[in-house]
Chains A and B, each alone.
Chain A
Amino acid sequence: MQKSVGPPKRDEAYNFAYLDEQTKRMVRRALLKAVAVPGYQVPFGSREMPLARGWGTGGIQVTASVIGPDDTLKVIDQGADDTTNAVSIRRFFARVAGVATTEATGEASIIQTRHRIPEAPLRAGQILVYQVPQPEPLRKLEPKEAETRKMHAWGDYGLMHVRLYEDIARFGRVATTYSYPVLVNGRYVMSPSPIPKFDNPKLGMCAALQLFGAGREKRIYAIPPWTEVKSLDFDDHPFEVQTWDEPCALCGAADSYLDEVITDDKGSRMFVCSDSHYCEERRAAGHVGRLLGSETGQKLTGGAKE
């Protein structure tokens, strides 16, 4: 199993971390402003990247602007280190920046993520970079950009609660499960990118710096360390996260976000940790789930990965 890899050789045909220095400065200026005004969407001049917009170009540009030769990079996609997008982006930075890469959350100094926050608590000094498809939390409710900017400027967020009201009226609870809107530092309503609402509580009072990049929509925003982040709710319908009836089938974790995996065409299913590194670490520490070692379990833990 690949854990940590020492610094590979950088491809000298590209500038360090692919982007030219002027572009990185421009992105850094936007980042500084974003950190200074938590939750505020800062426009920036998003560049063409060697993959299609919507595949994480915003996150890649942010990572490219903050990464240095001494950094260690971890990339996750839906919590897993070994999915196509994660593997490609990790290989991209190994090639153009020559940085060390890792799958271990604790060892990484920069973690680029799509759809998840790692289960293991982050520490001070780490940077979490999110790939954001739609930075505007109000977009589905108000299609006009001029109007949403006014709503942000005036803190005019009533419409967001109308959406929550509709959920409760129709389903008896807030049915929004991902991209659940949050209020950052008591001021700006922000889209946390499509992370499950299970991860929302980890956004607030986090020791690490959190940066959000939306390449197609050309916006950058940030949550500085130790910032208050509140998920929107009603007084009598407080914010809740998802729960599962059974623990992870491989590592037995009852405190992590679980993915449902269909195991055959007869309706059998299992639930496994979406954070692949967290699951591996627990198994290495001797935790055993229901299906670990079984034929189905081996398909997920065995040959495919080694």
Chain B
Amino acid sequence: MSAPLDSAAKVATGADGDAPLLTATGVTRFYGERIGCEDVSFDLWPGEVLGIVGESGSGKSTLLRCLAGLDRPTSGRIGFRDGSRVTPDIFALDEQRRRALMRTAWGIVHQNPRDGLRMGVSAGGNIGERLIDRGDRHYGNIRVAAVDWLQRVEIDPARIDDRPTQFSGGMQQRLQIARVLVSEPKLVYMDEPTGGLDVSVQARLLDLLRALVRDLGLAAIIVTHDLAVARLLTDRLMVMRRGRVVEEGLTDQVLDDPQHPYTQLLTASVLAA
């Protein structure tokens, strides 16, 4: 797994890479009395893929929702850098600017494709919406981009006018990924991108994601409870338990030589196939 690390390092030292893309500082989110996630701090560099693992209820999704600008953290700051434009805290922006940033600078792949797609709109329309939001008003160009992206996520372009309801679960997930990536974001958040898919479909989706992330030099944060997914896709790993980060480091390091008792339990509980 040294090749991905090398490529990540190469991007990180490029012209764009002399500062972190995303900076989380003491991100804490309470749900009333209960803790969602507490005091999470990290930097994410351009082109880097960060995994967040942990069992159900450990605060992974809460953290992701905060990072992606969907939920306001109770305390803490989330900084974002788009080229030379630095936003010290995305929640200090007004909602309009934050939405614009969410739409142009990053994308979110939801666990359930229904949350990320418009089910009443054709596949082409789903992909085109991000371009239209950006200001594209040329039907032909939008169409060409939609066909291109359907091919890149391995959906037959002949199905461009079909609705997502007519697609299988795996195709819906791939369509969602195309919809997110078409506007060329710098950063992609993925919440259990392979959840609910059968194993063979999962494998193809993982192949696709890995290729896309590497080809486009995307930074990504992937939430998963599947350590195999984490090992395949991520450069760096954070292990969460009860809302706190208990261990973090390079993916292979964390998985092969876990230090925290909880991480040891987690890696030991994976079934050998």
Contacts and interface: CB of A to CB of B under 8 A. Distances in A.
Contacts of B160: 169
A299 interface: no
A165 B122 CA distance: 9
A235 B138 CA distance: 5
Given A154-B96, A158-B133, A165 B138 contact: no
A306 interface: no
Interface string A149-175: 010011010110110011011100000
Q: Size band of the B side of the interface?
A: 20 to 34
Contacts of A150: 95
Interface string B105-145: 00000000000001001101100110011000111101100
Chain B interface, >50% SS class: helix
Given A169-B124, A169-B161, A162 B138 contact: no
A158 B96 contact: no
B79 to A, nearest CB: 23
A234 B138 contact: yes
B122 A161 contact: no
For chain A, the bracket of interface size reads 10 to 19
A154 B160 CA distance: 30
Nearest to A160: B132
Contacts, number: 46
A6 B233 CA distance: 83
Interface in B163-189: none
Contacts of B152: none
Interface string A126-143: 000000000000000000
Contact of B125 (A153, A156, A169, A235): A169
A158 B137 contact: no
A159 B161 contact: no
A184 to B, nearest CB: 18
A223 B16 CA distance: 48
Interface in A212-237: 234-237
Given A154-B99, A170-B161, A235 B122 contact: no
A150 B142 CA distance: 26
A182 B140 CA distance: 22
A223 B86 CA distance: 41
A95 to B, nearest CB: 47
Given A154-B96, A170-B161, A165 B133 contact: no
A165 B120 CA distance: 13
A154 B100 CA distance: 10
Q: Report, nearest first, the 10 A-B pairs whose CB atoms are least far apart.
A: A158-B133, A234-B139, A158-B132, A235-B138, A161-B132, A154-B96, A162-B129, A236-B140, A166-B125, A237-B139
11 contacts: A156-B99, A161-B132, A165-B128, A165-B139, A166-B121, A168-B139, A169-B125, A169-B160, A170-B161, A235-B137, A235-B138
Given A154-B96, A154-B99, 12 more contacts: A158-B129, A161-B132, A162-B121, A162-B125, A162-B128, A169-B122, A169-B160, A169-B161, A234-B138, A235-B137, A235-B139, A236-B140
Interface of B: 95-96, 99, 118, 121-122, 124-125, 128-129, 132-133, 137-140, 142-143, 160-161
